[in-house]
Structure 1
């Protein structure tokens, strides 16, 4: 018996705050966490969209019921099963998405990434090998992908502002995981700003506003 692979056209989804005008100064690419859907995740960011800021929320291409075999469905970026195939699919999807969006701009706007939870690894893995540079990257309640090629990531992120954000009551964030991320920042030779809030595994809207609107 032999298991083989067939490549075929596949539809992937994303949510967008508004139709691009080509005049926005910033594009925010926001990656949801495990079991979420883009149309709900993007709602947290819509108050910050407008003439100068476009919000894009790509959706993971793997789906499953969140409980038992019926009810709510959520998306995820990958599982351990056929992991490398999922990563390659994600990269092709995100490359094409950004190519299509950036065609609308005579001059590229600044690109900002926010990866929440599982979306943080997907965002960092993709950005580390994308053919454009990211101005700012926010790693929220998650971490860098552990399989980045260090030298390539160092070069790609050398001018990127990086923030690490987590809730002080986040049951999924441990002192060990924080220490691991700090160690990786050292390998990247990056000074990373850390922000915390009084909460759990969630987006904190007041802090999100301060970050996006650069209020301190």
Structure 2
């Protein structure tokens, strides 16, 4: 007989700096498969400022990247107990972002960037979070294939949606692009598409255009 139990769990995350709770915007940056938040947040270092707080949560599943020793990476889920992992991710991200927003007298803009596997994780969570996402950036990934489009339509009604792909990304296939096209059509909302010459990675120039753009 399979049973389940919930218990208190400790999860790790990293900040760009000690918050003053007077920042104008928060960037929740969600890493990809096999990465660690400590190193992922460093990729945004050139954009750290007193008016902008970066929060990098870390996936709660860990594995050795090669064999049974050496470098360790985190991930947001595998196919095993997938639905449970999704619900755990939602509770983690809810608790994390809400714990910071509670300290702000003036609500900052909330921006979310999901990279690779983190893109699907970000879209699932952002579509059901009770708050409003100002900008959602999906980088080297896309909308979750099982996204509830009716729910997402309402959640993203006032959200700027940006899809970023590297022209040499070996993990992006024509099939995955077609699937994204179909999901975007189902959303019925304009999505900004940006491309760069690199592969499965963040690009500083494109990041600069996104983070510093005027709304």
SS class of match (1:29):
strand
1:191 corresponds to: 190
1:111 corresponds to: 110
Residues 33, 117 of structure 1: 8 Å contact kept: yes
Distance in 2 of aligned mates of 1:127 and 1:108: 17
Worse overlay, 115-124 or 182-191: 182-191
1:51 corresponds to: 50
Residues 21, 104 of structure 2: 8 Å contact kept: yes
**Cα displacement string for residues 141-185 of structure 1 (whole angstroms, at most 9, x for unaligned residues):** 001112222111100001111111010000011122112212211
Structure 2: gaps (5+ residues): none
Taking the TM superposition and a 5 Å limit, the aligned residue runs for 1:23-172 are 23-172=22-171
**Cα displacement string for residues 39-80 of structure 1 (whole angstroms, at most 9, x for unaligned residues):** 000001122121110000000000000000000000000000
SS class of match (2:88):
helix
Displacement of 1:17 after TM fit? 0.5
Distance in 1 of aligned mates of 2:75 and 2:192: 27
Displacement of 1:215 after TM fit? 7.5
- State the Cα RMSD in Å: 1.2
Displacement of 1:206 after TM fit? 1.5
Distance in 1 of aligned mates of 2:210 and 2:84: 34
Distance in 2 of aligned mates of 1:59 and 1:173: 23
Residues 145, 179 of structure 2: 8 Å contact kept: no
Distance in 1 of aligned mates of 2:131 and 2:77: 24
Structure 1: gaps (5+ residues): none
Residues 46, 55 of structure 1: 8 Å contact kept: no
Worse overlay, 86-95 or 34-43: 86-95
Displacement of 1:89 after TM fit? 0.8
Residues 145, 183 of structure 2: 8 Å contact kept: no
Distance in 1 of aligned mates of 2:119 and 2:5: 29
Query: What stretches of structure 1 move > 3 A for 4+ residues in a row?
Result: none
What TM-score results when the alignment is normalised by the length of structure 1? 0.97
Worse overlay, 206-215 or 169-178: 206-215
What TM-score results when the alignment is normalised by the length of structure 2? 0.97
Distance in 1 of aligned mates of 2:179 and 2:6: 37
Displacement of 1:35 after TM fit? 0.2
